[in-house]
């Protein structure tokens, strides 16, 4: 064949056996040439390198390699390229062998929300641009995941006394702001705001003395009020208010008028 690859030609000598061409004029002359194709003219086709797997401290990149026909660039089976001189082009190569730099991180910012889930941010930079991007610290994080809660106070109970100073109480609960349901202490926290008082003083005004004139009955039993009166507890405002009738009754004590002392007469000496 006239070529080692691709389309070629076989050549041969054709002449009349008598060595006189006219003697063979009536005969069909055989073709002196014939096409031949031993194998395709193969070559390697290489693609572009991929992005390096790392931007520092040594990574690798790959590319595609194909065995193709050098004339029409159609793909061939790899064994067609085994006759090519030298080794096949490399599939991989090292890249970015410079040592990696350290990431620079700034302090976390305050949480965007005090409750209910917020976000904290911080700056993350690589001054020289040669940091390992696979080890980049996070620049955001979640915070304040506990529910948003607030204090809810109930109505005040009636005062323990109507005058003279008493106290009253109410219920105080820490509830979630979303559904106003009472949460357990480990789920709902209200430390961000002061707790409302559960107790307070009430009716500090002194009990009126003229109220005894309007009193027709003790609020406590008569015997108990008499006992308190005997113990001289009527001066206590709350006792006087509860035992107004007994304490208003005047106890007249019958006592003898004290005798006027006579001057002691001392007899004169004779």
CA angle 195, 198, 202 (to 5 degrees): 130
Report the C-alpha gap between 226 and 211 in whole angstroms.
Answer: 18
Report the C-alpha gap between 78 and 64 in whole angstroms.
Answer: 13
* DSSP state at residue 192: T
Give the pLDDT confidence score for residue 258 in this predicted structure.
46
Q: Do domains 104-143 and 148-206 have the same CATH topology?
A: yes
Per-residue pLDDT of 134-147, as tens digits, reads: 889 999 999 887 78
Series of mean pLDDT values for 10-residue runs along the chain (270 residues)? 82 87 86 85 91 88 92 86 84 90 93 87 91 90 85 91 88 78 60 90 78 71 90 87 82 43 48
* DSSP state at residue 42: E
CATH superfamily of 104-143: Thrombospondin type-1 (TSP1) repeat (2.20.100.10)
Give the pLDDT confidence score for residue 148 in this predicted structure.
85
Whole-number Cα distances in Å, 64 to 47, 68, 74, 75, 105: 5, 12, 15, 13, 39
Give the pLDDT confidence score for residue 246 in this predicted structure.
86
Burial state string for 161-190 with b = 16 or more CB within 10 A and e = fewer than 16: bebbbeebeeeebbbbeeeeeebeeeebeb
Could you state, in order of their start, the residue ranges of all structural domains in the chain? 7-12+30-95, 104-143, 148-206, 211-248
Locate tokens 């009716």: which residue? 203
Report the C-alpha gap between 145 and 172 in whole angstroms.
Answer: 24
Per-residue pLDDT of 107-128, as tens digits, reads: 999 999 878 889 999 999 998 8
CATH 2.40.50 is the classification of domain 148-206 = no
């Amino acid at each position: 064949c006239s070529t080692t690859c691709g389309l070629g030609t076989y050549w041969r000598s054709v002449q009349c056996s008598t060595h006189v061409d006219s003697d063979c004029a009536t005969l069909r002359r055989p073709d002196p040439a014939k096409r031949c194709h031993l194998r395709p003219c193969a070559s390697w086709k290489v693609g572009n390198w991929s992005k390096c797997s790392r931007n520092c401290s040594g990574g690798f990149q790959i590319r595609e390699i194909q065995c193709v026909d050098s004339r029409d660039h159609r793909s061939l089976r790899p064994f067609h390229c085994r006759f090519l001189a030298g080794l096949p082009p490399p599939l991989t190569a090292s890249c970015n062998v410079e040592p990696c730099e350290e990431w620079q991180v700034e302090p976390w910012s305050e949480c965007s929300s005090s409750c209910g889930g917020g976000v904290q941010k911080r700056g993350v930079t690589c001054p020289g641009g040669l940091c390992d991007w696979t080890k980049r610290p996070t620049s955001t994080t979640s915070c304040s995941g506990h529910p948003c809660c607030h204090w809810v106070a109930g109505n005040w109970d009636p005062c323990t006394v109507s005058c003279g100073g008493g106290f009253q109480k109410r219920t105080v609960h820490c509830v979630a702001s979303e559904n106003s349901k009472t949460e357990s202490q480990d789920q709902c926290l209200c430390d961000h705001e002061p707790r409302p008082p559960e107790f307070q003083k009430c009716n500090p005004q002194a009990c009126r003395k003229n109220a005894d004139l309007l009193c027709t009955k003790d609020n406590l039993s008569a015997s108990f009020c008499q006992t308190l009166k005997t113990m001289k507890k009527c001066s206590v405002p709350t006792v006087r208010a509860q035992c107004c009738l007994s304490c208003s009754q005047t106890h007249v004590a019958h006592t003898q008028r004290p005798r006027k002392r006579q001057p002691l007469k001392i007899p004169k000496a004779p």
